Amino acid sequence: MHLEVWPGNVYPLGSFWDGKGTNFALFTENATAVEVCLFDKDGNEKRIPLSEYDNRVWHCYIPGVAPGQRYGFRVHGPYDPSQGHRFNPNKLLIDPYAKAIDGDVVNGPELFGYSWEDPAQDLSFSELDSAHLIPKSVVIDESFDWEGDTLLRTPFHESIIYEVHVKGFTQLQPNMPEELRGTYAGLAHPASIAHLQSLGITAVELMPVHHFLSYPGHLLDKGLKNYWGYDSINYFAPYSGYSCDRTPGGQVREFKEMVKALHKAGIEVILDVVYNHTGEGNHKGPTLSFRGVDNAAYYQLSPDDRRYYMDFTGCGNTLNVGHPQILKLIMDSLRYWVLECHVDGFRFDLASALARELFYVDSLASFFTIIHQDPVLADVKLIAEPWDVGEGGYQVGNFPLLWSEWNGRYRDVMRDFWRGEDNSLGEFAYRLTGSSDLYQTNGRSPYASINFITAHDGFTLYDLVSYNEKHNEANGEGNADGESHNRSWNCGVEGDTDDPEVLALRERQKRNFLVTLFLSQGVPMLVYGDEMERTQKGNNNAYCQDNEISWINWEFPQEKADLLNFVRQLIFFRRKHPVFQRRKWFQGRPIHGRTISDIVWFNPDGSEMSDEQWNDGFAKSIGVFLNGEEIPRVGRQGQRIIDESFLLFFNAYWEMLEFKLPEGIENREWQVVIDTKESDFIEDGPIFTDGKAVPVTGRSIVLLRRLP
């Protein structure tokens, strides 16, 4: 069929349907020619040369090309890896701006720009065509009926984040149609939303949903899959493998329906985004998109030999965020997900890599500067994973205003405290109160700290108290992958056991971690399934386990239901009491003309902590008074906020200790609300006053509230 080809426009990049035809535009500063390739339903290809080139963008407009059209690009130019150029028109390329991608990459030698069999390796040139192995980009209709939906804008200090994998959360869910399991539609199903609402979470943080490389060669050979999805090959298209709707472009509509349903339930959607690297890997990786469009522009290359890549991510390459067009790509992607898909925020994987202008991490890097002035992104949640694998990459506490951070120091300190390691109580106190030592000096608030005990990367909560060592044999790497220093404790037996004392201790330790997490200042994050004792059997790096190792098992015995009920009570307890979700820092002094401070720390004997005791690594027990009448923030209408007051007794020592009520509040009545030796909140708990000591079991927490 003959197609008219008009000049078209340089903007917007990618494919854009205007109701009559489609504009195609591709940025590449070093290419010599570009073809857009249209595919019919039988896979037949029609190549159309782009003759227009302006501002380093090749473009055209084709009347009659409509939504559902499958396409790709072929880009001509020098093949000179030593100079950073890897153009090869034999390789069909995914549009970097594609809003939908149909299918997955299929492995084969045709994907590579070089010949596998040539001794010169990646310096050789492959003439094999890859079109039959490459998923096709899809022209979409961007219109959608949002029915008045807007961003929820839940205040950050009131947020409860639930890190969740779209497939792992729903794949075994028995209360939904089988075809919806493992999909965006499954996450939007009433059964899923009912569970999320019953927990009281305010936001789901979705593990990567940008279209990613599902079957990299090193996993395919082992019969495994890229389950986590941290190998993006596009930053606009929702991963089609999570879509129940298999029509080309259908995943976009399904994703938007999911967001709309979650918003109606009062739940924000935060995306885990991977702008630091792509799934194309190192110099021996496949040519799927960016490498073939313009390798020298999209990636940071070694200044000593541009054949090789700078790798601050451990994944073979690092995106060249210092290039204006690549920075624009990221910003366009972020704005697209907010404006067109109503996403409420982002968690940036290995965010330190984005701050690298050259080889060092710069808190004033272009990426942060441009985000700070962007009117769309200034009003969404921005969360950094504040590290990468390069030198100087651990940057916890060093991100600028507007940013919150996964607080890795919180995780480490709390794990060490509850497994009985020697550590200063001062460090514990900082983490419990929002980590002011990390975030206060540059003007940030307690909610800059995203607190977590577990995350997708590492042990689940169940495994944290059941294993001393990783057990990653199923990954096929001889148990060499994954973190070896987990700060875990198996409570005396490695793995499964029927010893009642060990099992009781493990359950108590889980409750200790959970109570500590949800009663700390900052924003708590719970990983999916921890509330139902999900286990990965000691696998702390289940990135390739798309199976029961990683999926939630929704059919569980009563003892698992006990923990679920406890978590639900705990989250709603936190949400009810503003003293646990402060917007401002503790001041350690009276605020509203009272005689008692907003926070007081004390020893088990009731005396206040001395300077020397804060640094005593042998101390395992501490008490804290939280004054609900000394909250320095006001409500949304300017009203003063007053809450109940609480005492928290933390005893990480292995024997029972008696805590005395501290001076100044000992004459008030205090009632036990939580005792982690019990599997449930305590109704009408015992009351303590006037010198009566509070017994706190070894390795447990007791929370008391002050009676009127």
Could you give the residue numbers annotated as active site? 349, 385
Q: In whole angstroms, what is the distance from residue 197 CA to residue 591 CA?
A: 36
The answer for residues whose C-beta is within 8 angstroms of residue 442's C-beta and 6 or more apart is: 400, 401
**Alpha carbon 174 to chain centroid, angstroms:** 26
Q: How many CB atoms lie within 10 A of CB 635?
A: 9
Q: Tell me the CB-side half-sphere exposure of residue 644, using CA atoms within 13 A.
A: 17
Is 632:626 a contact under the CB 8 Å cutoff? no
Q: How far is 349 from 482, CA to CA, in rounded Å?
A: 17
Asked, as a colleague might, if the bond just before 155 is cis with ω within 30 of 0, I would say no
Nearest to 449 by CA among 375, 396, 506: 396
Residue that the structure tokens 């017994």 belong to? 695
Q: Where are the beta strands (DSSP E) in 456-511?
A: none
> In one letter, which amino acid is 243?
S
The CA distance from 556 to 667, in Å, is 45
* φ, ψ of residue 79 in degrees (nearest 5): -105, 95
Asked if 637 and 684 count as a contact pair (C-beta separation under 8 A), the reply is no
Q: CA dist 239 to 81, 327, 566, Å?
A: 30, 22, 35
Q: How many CB atoms lie within 10 A of CB 324?
A: 11
CA-to-CA distance for 212 and 226, rounded, in angstroms?
A: 9
CA distance 87 to 122: 12
User: Integer distance in angstroms from the first to the last C-alpha of the chain?
Assistant: 82
With b for 16 or more beta-carbon neighbours within 10 A and e for fewer, the 642-663 pattern comes to ebbbbbbbbbbbeeebebbbbe
Residue ranges with strand state E in 353-471: 381-384, 403-406, 449-451
User: Which is it for strands 694-696 and 85-86: parallel, antiparallel or unpaired?
Assistant: unpaired
- DSSP strand pairing (345-348 vs 381-384): parallel
| Antiparallel, parallel or unpaired: β 85-86 and 79-80 | antiparallel
Q: Can you tell me whether residue 600 is helix, strand or coil?
A: strand
Distance CA 489, CA 134 (A): 46
What is the number of H-type helices and E-type strands within the chain?
15, 27
- Distances 164 to 73, 192, 204, 356 between C-alpha atoms, Å: 34, 11, 6, 29
For 217-222, the CB contacts below 8 A with 24+ separation are 217/107, 219/544, 220/107, 222/476, 222/544
Burial of 83 (0-12, 13-18, 19+ CB in 10 A): middle
Q: Provide the 10 A C-beta neighbour count for residue 303.
A: 9
Q: Backbone dihedral region of 77: left (phi > 0), alpha (psi from -120 to 50 degrees) or beta?
A: left
Asked if the peptide bond before residue 208 counts as cis, ω within 30 degrees of 0, the response is no
* List of residues 6+ apart from 652 with CB closer than 8 A: 417, 418, 420, 620, 621, 699
Structure-token pair, residue 444: 């940030």
Our CA angle for 54, 309, 36, nearest 5°, is: 35
For residue 539, give the nearest of 462, 597, 606, 429 by alpha carbon: 462
